[in-house]
Structure 1
Amino acid sequence: MGHPSGHTVLLVPVPELEPFVRERTAHHDASFLSTDPDFVHAHVTVLGPFLDDPAPADLDRVAAVAAEVPAFDFELDRFGEFADGILHLLPEPDSSFRELTRRLVAAFPQCPPYGGAFPEPTPHLTVEQRTGEIDEAWVRAALGPVLPAHCRADRVRLHRYANHDCRVLGEWKLGLA
């Protein structure tokens, strides 16, 4: 890992949370704001980090996995917090996210989720970092009427994350098989 131009992630975009997540990204590190109009900062990761420089055959494998998993609906309203203070929303149900990750790991065993740190990762949408003044109540109040968010996962995207160069590298519709 440690590609000089950042890292890649396979994810499901969640446009319903984009205004909030984009604003929080700007607050924390504006170098990760994308100028790519198709880039959605709000997302649920299904496999990351992914390959630094995927070949056409790798992209074909992603397409095949995406085609096998039907589009699905989910809701975001329940919060979680990781040990490092990352506040996140938990998609419910999360079974289709887990299935996507399972299939992608099977197709790309050289890309363990989170570098192997979390072999059974929890599907989540990161919203904030806990601080003295920022906690779940603060985030819930800031999101206001956005929650509960009723969402539809209908695509997988490949994003590159790098300072001053966050962009979409590919996209595949779910359930085309």
Structure 2
Amino acid sequence: MPYRVGETALLVVVEAAEPVVGGWRRRFDRSAAAGVPAHVTVLVPFLDVARIDDGVLGELRQLFAAHRPFDVRFEGFGRFPDVLYLAPEPAGPVRALTEAVVARWPEVPPYGGAFAEVVPHLTVAHGQVEDVYREAEAALAGRLPLGASVHAVELWGSDGDRWRRRARFPLLAAR
């Protein structure tokens, strides 16, 4: 199984990016093949699905409702050693969402605590050879910039093979 049964994630789904990067993601990012749409991660892994009850859902609803909707633009690419991604600008509002969740649930650090700094990103390709990254950049560069409005954070859960949306939490604070 590529994912752990009961694993959850909090995501900002970027529907506007799907027509642009969806084909690349389906070929070169296993999360897309498992049903995860184009997104910027707020927190993964989040609590195990067995720990998510009505109380947790209510806390998430309140936590995210205290944040404002915001707009982002994806103007260029970024790289991690094994990832090609689109960088959201500004990244601050996504970081603020992550920080708010971690402040409430410090036992679930971003990416399991594997990275010292969390960099908001929208993965285009993961675990590929350099030629794939260069080809994707060349093919997608003419389709940028890409803008999106963020109005919610979604809770997604894995059954071990597929990811499915389990809840949606609107950002409700006044702009």
- TM-score (normalizing by structure 1): 0.84
Alignment partners' CA distance in 2, 1:97 and 1:75: 12
Verify: 1:43 aligned to 2:39, yes or no.
yes
Task: Give unmatched runs, 5+ long, in structure 1.
Answer: 35-39
> Is the contact between residue 32 and residue 163 of structure 1 (CA under 8 Å) also seen in structure 2?
no
Gaps of 5+ in 2: none
Structure 2 CA distance for partners of 1:100 and 1:30, relative to 1, 3 Å: closer
Whether the 8 Å CA contact 1:113–1:119 is kept in 2: the answer is: no
Deviation at 1:42, TM superposition (A): 0.3
Q: Could you tell me how far 1:87 is from its partner in structure 2?
A: 0.7
What RMSD, in angstroms, separates the aligned Cα atoms of the two structures?
2.4
User: For residues 147 and 162 of structure 1, do their structure 2 counterparts lie closer, same or farther at Cα, with a shift above 3 Å needed?
Assistant: farther
Q: Name 1:70's counterpart in structure 2.
A: 68
Counterparts of residues 81-96 of structure 1 (less than 5 Å): 81-83=79-81, 85-96=82-93
The CA distance in 1 between the partners of 2:87 and 2:141, in whole Å, is: 17
Instruction: Show the counterpart of 1:61.
Output: 59
Q: State the shift of 1:165 in Å.
A: 2.3
Tell whether the 8 Å contact from 1:3 to 1:52 is kept in structure 2 after alignment. Answer: no
State the identity as a percent: 36
| Partner of residue 11, structure 2 | 11
- 1:172 matched to which residue of 2? 169
**Aligned residue in 2 for 1:103:** 100
Is 1:154 the counterpart of 2:151? The answer is yes
Residues 9 and 160 in structure 1, CA contact (< 8 A), matched pair in contact too:
yes
Please give the secondary structure, in 1, of the residue aligned with 2:108. Answer: coil
Amino acid at match of 1:97: V
CA distance in 2, matches of 1:87, 1:45: 15
Distance 2:74 2:63 in 1: 24
Match of 2:33 in 1: 32
Letter in structure 1 aligned against 2:88: P
**Post-superposition offset of 1:6:** 5.0
1:122 is aligned to 2:123? no
Q: Cα–Cα, structure 1 residues 21 and 8, in superposed 2: closer, same or farther, change >3 Å? A: farther
Q: What is the CA-CA distance between 1:120 and the residue it aligns to?
A: 3.1
Residues 127-168 of structure 1 show CA distances to partners (whole Å, capped at 9, x for unaligned) of 113414212x42233325531101111110011234542210
SS in 2 for 1:102: helix
Alignment partner, residue 37 of structure 1: none
For residue 86 of structure 2, what is the amino acid of its counterpart? L
Are the equivalent residues in 1 in contact too, given 2:45–2:108 (CA < 8 A)? Answer: yes
State which drifts further: 119-128 or 88-97. Answer: 119-128
How many residue pairs match? The answer is 169
Q: Which residue of 2 aligns with 1:133?
A: 131
| Amino acid paired to 1:91 | P
Determine if contact 2:10/2:44 at 8 Å carries over to the other structure: yes
